[in-house]
């Protein structure tokens, strides 16, 4: 028996008419009628009494409908379970721009190599506040976020990742000596920072406040919405940058950027893998978390070697 034919019989039994049954199934009335007629021919028995204004089930029809309901319910349950399985193949991951630039390409490449069947892997770059918000409303399943002073992490923490560090950097063209540099030596320069809400900006503002100073004391404050734009500006010598070391590692290693050791600006950066309250673990999510941890350790080891 065809499942669509059984659904048609159940719909006729529930509505008492071919037209209403057809409407509920989004098919034509003639198609619904033909399906029932075909079923009756296959069984060799009449299933519907068509003599009255409202069609009624015959005794044989009642038996078939009772069992047809069970079959339709079983098929619907199967479809629902398969949809859940299909949804588990979707992963949504979010991180900050600083983590994304230095870690995300390798994470995505390794994950897709291991799980080619996952055809819906969504990743986003947001500031920490937006990441926490997205986890709470299930926009993101897994995230990596920095621990900023003004945004403490409460709950949902899976793994603490290796520490990074914030560094004050600038291009050699600025002519600033690396040794024995003070904050006063740097205030005559421009500072390149991210827009409000960025963790590096918050940490810089807090650092300046602790020292009794303000970010506005730099010659000019150049604000960028995009971390890559900020990084390119610093490389071009437009100003100083307060940047995560893993982001600047390549440029520090080849001399395109210099790091300035300024008293009071030593700042470890802590990161964690977080999940939202509605997170449901799967083999895919377990593998993604493992890859994030491995890549974070790999990036840290590479930086230490340099």
pLDDT per position as a tens digit, 114-125: 888 777 788 888
pLDDT for residue 274 = 92
pLDDT at position 266 is 73
The pLDDT of residue 289: 94
- At 267, the pLDDT band (50, 70, 90 cuts) reads confident
Q: What CA–CA distance (Å, rounded) separates 304 from 306?
A: 5
Position 149 scores a pLDDT of 62
Count of domains for the chain: 3
Mean pLDDT of 16-40: 84
The answer to whether residues 196 and 254 belong to one domain is yes
- Using CA atoms, how far apart are residues 60 and 58, in angstroms rounded to an integer? 5
Q: Which helix (H) or strand (E) holds 48?
A: strand 48-49
| Residue 189 pLDDT exceeds 70 | yes
pLDDT at 231: 92
Torsion sign, CA atoms 213, 266, 126, 97 = positive
Whole-prediction pTM value?
Answer: 0.65
Name 41's Cβ contacts closer than 8 Å, sequence gap at least 6.
none
> Is a pLDDT exceeding 90 seen at residue 191?
yes
Mean pLDDT of the chain: 86
Please state whether 70 falls in left (phi above 0), alpha (psi between -120 and 50) or beta: alpha
For residue 148, the 8-state DSSP code is: B
The confidence score (pLDDT) of residue 17 equals 83
| In a shared domain, residues 199 and 263 | yes
Domain boundary among 39, 64, 86: 86
The rounded distance, in Å, linking the Cα atoms of 36 and 261 is: 84
Q: Which of 102, 99, 109, 97 is nearest to 251 (CA)?
A: 102
So what's the pLDDT on residue 153?
62
Say which CATH number the domain at 190 has. Answer: 3.40.190.10
Residues 116 and 207 in one domain: no
pLDDT of 154 above 70:
no
Task: Supply the pLDDT for residue 253.
Answer: 92
Per-residue pLDDT tens for 211-263?
889 999 999 999 998 888 999 999 999 999 999 999 999 999 999 999 998 87
254 and 197 share one domain? yes
- Pair of tokens at residue 178: 């690396």
Query: How does pLDDT run across 68-105, given as a tens digit for each residue?
Result: 888 888 888 887 776 665 555 678 899 988 898 889 88
> Helix axis angle, 227-235 relative to 97-114, nearest 10°?
120
Residues 32 and 176 in one domain: no
For the cut 90, the answer to whether the pLDDT of residue 292 exceeds it is yes
Question: Are 258 and 287 members of one domain?
Answer: no
CA-nearest of 136, 81, 94 to 278 is 136
Burial of 141 from C-beta contacts in 10 A (0-12 / 13-18 / 19+): buried
What is the reported pLDDT for 306? 58
- Strand, helix or coil at 222? strand
Return the higher-pLDDT residue of 56 and 170: 170
Average pLDDT over residues 291-298: 93
Give the CATH number of the domain where residue 25 resides. 1.10.10.10
Q: How confident is the model at residue 65 (pLDDT cuts 50, 70, 90)?
A: confident
Report the pLDDT value the prediction gives residue 151, as an integer from 0 to 100. 55
Domain with 233 in it: 164-269
Give residue 54's Cα distance to chain centre.
54
Same domain, 37 and 11: yes
- Asked if 134 and 157 sit in the same domain, the reply is yes
Among 47, 67, 86, the domain-final residue is 86
The helix, strand and coil proportions of the chain, stated in percent and rounded to the nearest 5, come to: 50, 20, 30
Residues 74 and 28 in one domain: yes
**Burial class of 149 by CB neighbour count within 10 A (0 to 12, 13 to 18, 19+):** exposed
Residues 287 and 238 in one domain: no
DSSP 85-122: HHHTTEEEEEE-HHHHHHHHHHHHHHHHHH-TT--EEE
The answer on 260 and 196 residing in a single domain is yes
Averaged pLDDT, 142-171: 81
Among 71, 86, 101, identify where a domain stops.
Answer: 86
Within this chain, do residues 180 and 233 fall inside the same structural domain, yes or no?
yes
Contact between residue 131 and residue 140 where contact means Cβ atoms under 8 Å apart: yes
């Amino acid at each position: 028996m065809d499942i669509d034919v059984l659904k048609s019989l159940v719909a006729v039994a529930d509505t008492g008419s071919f037209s209403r049954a057809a409407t509920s199934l989004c098919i034509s009335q003639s198609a619904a009628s033909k399906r029932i007629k075909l079923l009756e021919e296959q069984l060799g028995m009449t299933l519907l009494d068509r003599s009255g204004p409202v069609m009624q089930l015959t005794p044989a029809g009642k038996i078939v409908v009772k069992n047809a309901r069970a079959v339709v319910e079983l098929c619907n349950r199967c479809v629902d379970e398969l949809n859940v399985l299909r949804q588990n193949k979707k992963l949504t991951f979010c991180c900050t721009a600083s983590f994304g630039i230095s870690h995300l390409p390798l994470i995505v490449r390794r994950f897709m190599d291991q799980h080619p069947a996952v055809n819906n892997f969504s990743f986003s770059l947001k500031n920490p506040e937006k990441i926490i918000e997205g986890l709470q409303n299930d926009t993101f399943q897994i995230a990596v976020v920095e621990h900023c002073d003004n945004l403490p992490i409460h709950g949902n923490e899976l793994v603490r990742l290796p520490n990074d560090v914030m560094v004050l950097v600038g291009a050699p063209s600025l002519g600033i000596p690396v040794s024995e540099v003070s904050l006063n030596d740097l205030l005559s320069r421009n500072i390149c920072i991210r827009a409000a809400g960025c963790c590096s900006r918050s940490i810089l503002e807090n650092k300046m406040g602790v020292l009794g100073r303000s970010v506005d004391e730099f010659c000019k404050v150049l604000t960028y919405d995009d971390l890559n734009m900020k990084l390119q500006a610093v490389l071009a010598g437009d100003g100083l940058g307060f940047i995560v070391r893993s982001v600047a590692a390549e440029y520090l290693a080849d001399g395109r950027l210099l790091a300035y050791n300024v008293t009071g600006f030593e700042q470890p950066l802590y990161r964690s893998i977080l999940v939202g309250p509605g997170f449901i673990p799967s083999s895919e999510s377990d593998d993604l978390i493992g890859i994030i941890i491995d890549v974070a350790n790999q990036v840290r080891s590479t930086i230490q070697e340099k």
